[in-house]
Homo-oligomer: A and B are copies of this chain.
Amino acid sequence: MNTPANKPKTAVTPTRDENYAEWYQQVIRVADLAETSAVRGCMVIKPWGYALWENMQRVLDDMFKATGHQNAYFPLFIPLSFLQKEAAHVEGFAKECAVVTHHRLELNADGKLVPTGELEEPLIVRPTSETIIGDAFSRWVQSYRDLPLLINQWANVVRWEMRTRMFLRTAEFLWQEGHTAHATRAEAEEETLKMLDVYADFAENWMAMPVIKGEKTAGERFPGAVQTYCIEAMMQDRKALQAGTSHFLGQNFAKASGIEFLDHTGQREHAWTTSWGVSTRLIGGMLMTHSDDDGLVLPPKLAPVQVVILPIYRNDEERAKVLDYCESVAAELRGQHYAGRPVSVTVDRRDERGGEKVWSWIKKGVPLRVEVGPRDMEKDALFVGRRDRTPKDKTSIARSEFVATIGQLLQSIQDTLFQRALEFRAAHTRQIDSRDEFYAYFTAERSDPNLPPPIHGGFAMTHFGGSVELEEQIKNDLSVTIRCIPQQATESGTCPFTGNPSPTRVVWAKAY
């Protein structure tokens, strides 16, 4: 397919190298994933973006159910007094919240709507549901026989963020929050780590996004948690994205909410609880892991459309024949399964210029494009392009072979994306043993003060034996934080900042 000479080299402007932050917004735009709304910090998730979320939900929900969890639904609103029950939680969450203070509107003398009916106690739109779910758990849990209690909720939550970015940080976002209660500390800790593994499995095997599993340092813990675990991924600007968290809450929330049970011996005890969540932020992470300067690149397992078939014709007679042929190929493909569902195929029947149609699907990240013209039909062959290769790299494949191997083809793209991301992360992860090298690694040399700083740095693996205050100072100096203490321990060593001994290396990075 020829493109006009004046066509820019890439479908997205600016490119990742030119301006990564703006490239991100432009990929969302050209792939038609989402848009900003009239409400500050709230986005509209458009059908292509929502279809990604639906696919993520389906897979995660199956994983949660396979590990014994049940879904339930709790109120959107949290009474102000509930937030105050857990001291650390207040500090962390009772800051930037949407507060409902009135329950009625009336037209005033000027014909303007004004709030009336002031509530006795203001209500918070949930930023997270530990306190309101804890209240329910305190009724549901009476005896050890009621435990473990394994609940998940799919919901919207609101955090009044000052600086928002679509999918990554929005005032309202969609997520799931797991909340569980257990009879023993050991069981709750096991649950916390089990769900961390579920998240890592989903990130790596479905999103094709490599992650490091680890524990947060004290300064980065969820407010009210005893331990916070996370999965951290590297984006293409080498920044880290916290993609999911799993919290061991000890007995803190059980004490705050009164979740008590009679154990086997008739003793009254507080339960041990956990919570864990992932959100629509994953869509931003998936985008920044795989996409390129031509737009979105989707891992086949989560793509709403896995194969798009593009009929090529010059007149109405050809059109009818080619369309029939395309529909019969589509039907055959839909009879095949990949990753637990029938292969998802769309025939693009729009009467538009072929080049525009092809590029619209490239920008949307569809894994396989199949072009079919009269000559291909005659040979019973298909002209196939893979989204993990350049747009012009296309191959003719016999129809029967293509249908028979569709699962392998899709898996090959899935594997390529994962492998590429893994290599990218390896190439931009450095073991650092001196403070000077650390500071140099994270300091970009800016050639022109009017341009965004060049992409530089990445993950730094260092020993660390410092305090929360030292972490804070390094954050102030470099905007770099300890992303986690990886679960997979390294050799022990010496902290380059303090000279203290350190049992294992930690991961530092700039982060979203």
Contact call A123/B54, Cβ cutoff below 8 A? no
Q: Mark A79-110, 1 if CB is under 8 A from B, else 0.
A: 11011100000100011111111111101000
In the assembled complex, which residues on chain B have CB atoms less than 8 Å from the CB atom of A122?
102, 115
**Are A123 and B72 closer than 8 Å at their CB atoms?**
no
When C-beta atoms are compared, the residue in chain B nearest to A70 turns out to be B47
List the 3 shortest-distance A-B pairs measured between CB atoms, nearest first: A42-B75, A47-B70, A45-B73
Q: A98-B123, A113-B83 are in contact. Are A75 and B105 (CB under 8 A)?
A: no
CA distance A117 to B122 in the complex (A): 14
A71, B98: Cβ atoms closer than 8 Å: no
Number of copies: 2
Known A-B contacts: A44-B75, A47-B71, A76-B158. Give 10 more (CB < 8 A): A37-B74, A38-B75, A50-B72, A54-B71, A75-B172, A80-B105, A83-B105, A94-B113, A96-B103, A98-B103
Cβ contacts A to B, 30 pairs, < 8 Å: A35-B136, A37-B135, A38-B75, A39-B78, A39-B132, A44-B73, A44-B75, A44-B136, A45-B72, A45-B73, A47-B70, A47-B151, A50-B72, A50-B73, A53-B73, A54-B71, A75-B172, A76-B156, A90-B113, A94-B107, A94-B113, A95-B104, A95-B105, A96-B104, A97-B103, A100-B101, A100-B125, A104-B160, A105-B124, A125-B125
Instruction: Looking at the assembled complex, report how far the CB atom of A257 sits from the nearest CB atom of chain B, in whole angstroms.
Output: 11
Are B84 and A160 interface neighbours, CB within 8 A? no
CA distance A113 to B94 in the complex (A): 8
CA distance A77 to B38 in the complex (A): 10
Q: Is A174 positioned at the interface, with any CB of B under 8 Å from its CB?
A: yes
- Shortest CB distance A153–B (Å): 9
Q: A-side interface residues toward B, CB under 8 Å?
A: 35, 37-39, 42-47, 50-51, 53-54, 70-80, 82-84, 90, 94-105, 107, 112-113, 115, 117, 122-125, 132, 135-136, 139, 151, 155-156, 158, 160, 172, 174
A79 touches B113 (CB 8 A): no
Let me know if A70 and B51 touch, CB within 8 A: yes
By the criterion CB–CB under 8 Å, are A105 and B113 in contact? no
A50 to B155, CA, bound (A): 13
Q: How many angstroms from the CA of A113 to the CA of B80 in the assembled complex?
A: 7
Residues of B within 8 A of A38 (CB): 75, 79, 82, 132, 135
Cα A171 to Cα B51 in complex, Å, equals 29
Taken together as a complex, chains A and B put the C-alpha atoms of A478 and B35 apart, in Å, by 50
Which residues in B have their C-beta under 8 angstroms from that of A99?
100-105, 115
CB pair B74–A136 under 8 Å, yes or no, is: no
Most buried by B among A50, A53, A124, A155: A50
The answer for the CA separation of A259 and B135 in the assembled complex, in Å, is: 45
Q: Is the CB of B44 within 8 A of A71?
A: no
- Closest B residue to A149 using CB positions: B47
Distance in Å: Cβ of A29 to nearest Cβ of chain B: 12
- The answer to whether A104 and B115 have CB atoms under 8 Å apart is no
Question: Taking the nearest CB of chain B, how far is it from the CB of A165, in angstroms?
Answer: 16
B123 touches A76 (CB 8 A): no
Chain B nearest Cβ from A175, distance in angstroms = 12
Q: Which residues of B contact A71 (CB under 8 A)?
A: 47, 50-51, 54
**A73-B158 contact in complex given A95-B104, A104-B96, A151-B47, C-beta closer than 8 Å:** no
Q: Tell me the bound Cα distance from A97 to B79 in angstroms.
A: 17
Q: Complex Cα distance A97/B135, Å?
A: 25
Q: Which residue of B lies closest to A123 (CB)?
A: B39
How far in angstroms is the closest Cβ of chain B from A145?
Answer: 9
Contact between A75 and B113, CB atoms less than 8 A apart: no
What's the minimum C-beta distance from A30 to chain B, rounded to whole angstroms?
Answer: 15
- A83 contacts across to B, CB distance below 8 A: 105, 113
Taking a contact as CB atoms closer than 8 A, the residue among B43, B75, B172 that contacts A37 in the complex is B75
Which of chain B's residues have a CB closer than 8 A to the CB of A103? 96-99, 160
Q: Which residue of B lies closest to A131 (CB)?
A: B38
With a cutoff of 8 Å between Cβ atoms, the chain B residues found around residue A70 in the complex are 47, 50-51
Compute how far the CA of A124 lies from the CA of B98 in the bound complex, rounded to whole angstroms: 11
Give the contacting residue for A42; candidates B54, B77, B95, B102; CB below 8 A.
B77
